[in-house]
């Protein structure tokens, strides 16, 4: 059985990003490995083709403002892709070029079926041979793990994340369930095609103003919404979907607010977020959980009940801090890499410039200082 | 004659930004003053109404990525304007809200006619009473000082910066002289209206790839160019305009490359950059000049020949470093404010958090570290 000091699971934005940070530890190629179920950046390749990164890329790195979508302090997707809002395939290309440039040791087409604590580390069961690792960094993402439960008939709906193009969706009267970024992205593309779009959400995310972009629609989306013709969208807030019933002519959506169900000839589109890869049985038991379902992590993003198991990526939360954008979770790469280096007795001073470039968030009391101006 | 310790000339992005930094020095209101020829942010109010900030705003401040268009470390135009690419009037509103929030002492409708070194400082002559100041910070901008010379007949052309809306421009065959951001912005808006647009430039800025956004078109503009129909724009690079001749039917544009002049029925549009306010006779003599015309500054952005006279804003250059974007020149506010504080014997520790938040560029050997990924 092959044995590694560090095994990274996932070669998306989080896996490639932590990989670049780990290279600063001067690990030798046979000391560590990144594995991915399919290929580098593959989740991004499955985005609807109209979908773009909602955080804008800009090559401000050299003047202290790192490209929001960069996963290392000195690269910029804006520069390499000549794009402000890269598409999914664009962004996958950026990740591939990083993997090549930083010579990351990546093995693709390896899917993890279980992670088992063992002597001096973990046995990681995969669809091919099992691997041994002293330390495991879980960097699998969210996009391939949509949240599909919550009401009866959800399985009749169309999952937003499985749509290859909004141009393939036929009909005139879509109902979209979920009014955060992915629901609004669907709504915008369908409304631009002239459909009468309704968006239902249990809250009113379109009205929320918060200094934290994880709790409010992005400026990019707000601008696109304003550019739609008046009345193109009907926003139905503070409304919970209770069930979806299929009949011959279409779909009835029952809510807690409408005395009669809403009707659509088209399958309702489900955009209710992501359960995330940490909900997978292969890994879920190795973490303690908060009341809201998120995993409990140490200040170095290690499992509190399974030492040696770290998490990077959009699943990381600390108290009220949500790390679900690239520009947020990348702030923790060097923190985790430093912990790995210390654990393995490797020099960590190569990580200093992550801190110098403002990409090293170890003070979790940060934040909420932006004023309303 | 009223006398101040510090007088800031200009209440645009640079003047309001340095004003917010100066407030950290705990100056009393009667110790300093900001004056502006018209009003806070007035240059921005004169932008063509279709024009937007080309740097994208995003409220990433709390996670170490300050909004590119913010002039203080803890504000965000993305947040207060709900916009990614604010318009000129939008941005002026942001500056006004800062002026109010930070209680900046601003006097408007005061135009500077001369700055004269005098005992213990300067006499600043204005269109109303003269003012005395120990230290002067020149924060007047660029937009109201276009570069209009360079070839015969330039005065026959339409200055891009004087256009109130590209929708007011009538014709079918515009020639735009200058292919950087403002020329391309004009080109994009006119091409979207179906005009056959030609852009002439002495170089090929549309092909330049550089890690420095001051030397290449922004991702925002690159994306907008790609979205135009094929053939909507004719880009004429490596071509210098030698003269423009007006005839009854229109305008002939003679270049160094075309054996016969280019013809347009419309006045050519001049977008050849800005001479900047430091070219104004009121202030020009107080600086030494580099060969390229930019002023020579100390490492604290003070005139090398007129002690006590500082510069902030897009006119600042150090060697090859160009500070012509907000996210660049704001990096020098705290450097200048610190120098002012030291000169006046005031505590400067209020500026520490500019450094903590990565908004304090005093190491001018920075930069050029972004790799091509």
Given a contact cutoff of 8 angstroms between Cβ atoms, the answer to whether B227 and B191 are in contact is no
Closest Cβ–Cβ partner in B60, B101, B331 for A371 = B101
Q: What is the pLDDT of residues A144-203, one digit of tens each?
A: 788 877 899 999 999 999 999 999 999 999 999 999 999 999 999 999 999 999 999 999
Q: Where are the beta strands (DSSP E) in chain A?
A: 2-9, 32-35, 106-107, 112-118, 121-126, 131-138, 158-159, 175-177, 197-200, 233-236, 241-246, 251-255, 262-264, 269-270, 309-311, 317-318, 321-322
CB contact under 8 A, B82 and A222: yes
CB contact under 8 A, B83 and A219: yes
Confidence at residue A370, expressed as pLDDT on a 0 to 100 scale: 61
Q: What is the DSSP string of B164-177?
A: S-GGG---S--EEE
Nearest 5°: the CA angle A161, A162, A165 is: 95
Average model confidence (pLDDT) across chain A:
94
Give dist(CA A348, CA A342) in Å, integer. 7
Give dist(CA A80, CA B211) in Å, integer. 9
Give the residue on B whose Cα is nearest the Cα of A97. B373
Query: CA of B304 to nearest chain A CA: how many angstroms apart?
Result: 24
Interface of B with A in 127-186 (CB under 8 A): none
Give dist(CA B360, CA B308) in Å, integer. 21
Q: Which domains does chain B have, with CATH numbers?
A: 2-144+275-356 (3.50.50.60), 154-270 (3.50.50.60)
Q: Which of B33, B30, B12, B35 is nearest to B109 (CA)?
A: B35
Mean pLDDT of B148-173: 93
CB contact under 8 A, A65 and B66: yes
Query: CA of A80 to nearest chain B CA: how many angstroms apart?
Result: 5
Half-sphere exposure of B91 (CA within 13 A, CB side): 32
**ipTM score of the complex?**
0.92
Closest Cβ–Cβ partner in A63, A101, A223 for B373 = A101
A214 touches chain B (CB under 8 A): no
Element (H, E) at B131: strand B131-138
Q: What is the DSSP string of B216-231?
A: S--HHHHHHHHTSPTT
CB contact under 8 A, A367 and B63: yes
- Which of chain B's residues have a Cβ under 8 Å away from the Cβ of A366? 62-63
Query: CA of A360 to nearest chain B CA: how many angstroms apart?
Result: 9
Average model confidence (pLDDT) across chain B:
94
Give dist(CA B265, CA B173) in Å, integer. 7
Walk along chain A (373 residues) and give the pLDDT tens digit of each residue: 999 999 999 999 999 999 999 999 999 989 999 999 999 999 999 999 999 999 999 999 988 899 999 999 989 999 999 999 999 999 999 999 999 999 999 999 999 999 999 989 999 999 999 999 999 999 998 877 888 778 999 999 999 999 999 999 999 999 999 999 999 999 999 999 999 999 999 999 999 888 888 888 999 999 999 999 999 999 999 999 999 999 999 999 999 999 999 999 999 999 998 888 999 999 999 999 999 899 999 999 999 999 999 999 999 999 988 898 999 999 999 999 999 999 999 999 999 989 988 898 888 876 555 666 6
Query: CA of B72 to nearest chain A CA: how many angstroms apart?
Result: 10
Give dist(CA B213, CA B55) in Å, integer. 9
Query: CA of A52 to nearest chain B CA: how many angstroms apart?
Result: 12
Longest C-alpha distance within chain B, in Å? 66
Q: What is the pLDDT of residues B268-322, one digit of tens each?
A: 999 998 888 999 999 999 999 999 899 999 999 999 999 999 999 999 999 988 8
Confidence at residue B53, expressed as pLDDT on a 0 to 100 scale: 97
CB contact under 8 A, B218 and A68: no
Confidence at residue A276, expressed as pLDDT on a 0 to 100 scale: 86
Query: CA of B266 to nearest chain A CA: how many angstroms apart?
Result: 31
Interface of A with B in 66-105 (CB under 8 A): 66, 68, 72, 74-76, 78-80, 82-85, 94, 97-98, 101
Give the residue on A whose Cα is nearest the Cα of B213. A59
Confidence at residue B284, expressed as pLDDT on a 0 to 100 scale: 96
Give dist(CA B47, CA B32) in Å, integer. 29
Give the residue on A whose Cα is nearest the Cα of B323. A63
Confidence at residue A215, expressed as pLDDT on a 0 to 100 scale: 86
Distances from the Cα of A99 to the Cα of A40, A142, A299, B346, angstroms: 8, 20, 27, 50
Query: CA of B323 to nearest chain A CA: how many angstroms apart?
Result: 9
Interface of B with A in 330-369 (CB under 8 A): 331, 358-359, 361, 366-369
Element (H, E) at B318: strand B317-318
Confidence at residue A224, expressed as pLDDT on a 0 to 100 scale: 97
A233 touches chain B (CB under 8 A): no
Query: CA of B56 to nearest chain A CA: how many angstroms apart?
Result: 6
- Which of chain A's residues have a Cβ under 8 Å away from the Cβ of B372? 79-80
Give the residue on B whose Cα is nearest the Cα of A359. B64
CB contact under 8 A, B373 and A80: yes
CB contact under 8 A, A213 and B59: yes
Judged on CB neighbours under 10 Å (0-12, 13-18, 19+), A256 is: exposed
**In this model, does residue B244 exceed pLDDT 90?**
yes
Query: CA of B121 to nearest chain A CA: how many angstroms apart?
Result: 33
Confidence at residue A373, expressed as pLDDT on a 0 to 100 scale: 65
Give the residue on A whose Cα is nearest the Cα of B328. A63
Residues 6+ apart with CB under 8 A from A211: A368, A370, B59, B61, B62, B76, B79
**In this model, does residue B371 exceed pLDDT 80?**
no
Mean pLDDT of B100-117: 97
- Which of chain A's residues have a Cβ under 8 Å away from the Cβ of B41? none
Closest Cβ–Cβ partner in B65, B219, B220 for A327 = B65
CB contact under 8 A, A62 and B223: no
Confidence at residue A214, expressed as pLDDT on a 0 to 100 scale: 85
**In this model, does residue B368 exceed pLDDT 70?**
no
SS3 category, B254: strand
Q: What is the pLDDT of residues B206-223, one digit of tens each?
A: 998 888 888 889 999 999
Closest Cβ–Cβ partner in B55, B79, B370 for A74 = B370
Give dist(CA B10, CA A159) in Å, integer. 53
Q: What is the pLDDT of residues B34-50, one digit of tens each?
A: 999 999 999 999 999 99
Given a contact cutoff of 8 angstroms between Cβ atoms, the answer to whether B126 and B112 are in contact is yes
Strand partners, B317: B322
- Which of chain B's residues have a Cβ under 8 Å away from the Cβ of A76? 211, 370, 373
**For residue A264, how far is the Cα from the chain centroid?**
30
């Amino acid at each position: 059985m092959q044995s590694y000091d560090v095994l990274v699971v996932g070669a998306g934005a989080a896996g490639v990003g932590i990989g670049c940070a780990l290279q600063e530890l001067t690990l030798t190629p046979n000391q560590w490995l990144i594995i991915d179920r399919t290929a580098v950046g593959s989740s991004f390749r499955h985005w609807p083709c109209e979908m773009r990164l909602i955080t804008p890329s800009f090559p401000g790195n050299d003047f202290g403002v790192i490209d929001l979508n960069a996963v290392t302090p000195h690269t910029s997707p804006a520069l390499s892709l000549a794009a402000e809002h890269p598409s999914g395939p664009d962004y996958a290309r950026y990740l591939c070029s990083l993997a090549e440039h930083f010579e990351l040791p990546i093995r693709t087409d390896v899917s993890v079926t279980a992670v088992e604590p063992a002597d001096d580390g973990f046995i990681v069961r995969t669809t091919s041979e099992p691997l041994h690792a002293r330390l495991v960094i879980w960097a699998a993402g969210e996009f391939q793990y949509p949240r599909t439960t919550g009401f009866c008939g959800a399985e009749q709906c169309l999952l937003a994340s499985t749509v290859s193009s909004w141009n393939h969706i036929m009909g005139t009267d879509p109902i979209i369930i979920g009014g955060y970024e992915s629901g609004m992205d669907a709504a915008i593309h369908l409304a631009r095609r002239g459909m009468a779009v309704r968006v239902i959400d249990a809250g009113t995310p379109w009205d929320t103003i918060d200094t934290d972009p994880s709790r409010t629609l992005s400026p990019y989306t707000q601008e696109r919404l304003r550019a739609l013709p008046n009345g193109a969208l009907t926003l139905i807030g503070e409304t919970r979907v209770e069930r979806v019933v299929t009949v011959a002519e279409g779909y009835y959506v029952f809510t807690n607010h409408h005395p009669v169900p809403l009707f659509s000839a088209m399958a309702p589109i489900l955009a209710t977020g992501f359960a995330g890869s940490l909900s997978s049985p292969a890994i879920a038991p190795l973490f303690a959980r908060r009341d809201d379902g998120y995993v409990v992590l140490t200040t170095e993003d290690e499992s509190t009940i399974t030492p040696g198991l770290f998490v990077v990526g959009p699943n990381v939360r600390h108290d009220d801090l949500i790390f679900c954008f690239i520009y947020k979770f990348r702030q923790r790469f060097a923190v985790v890499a430093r912990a790995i280096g210390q654990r393995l007795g490797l020099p960590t001073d190569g990580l200093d410039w992550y801190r110098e470039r403002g990409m090293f968030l170890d003070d979790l009391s940060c934040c909420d200082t932006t004023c309303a101006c």
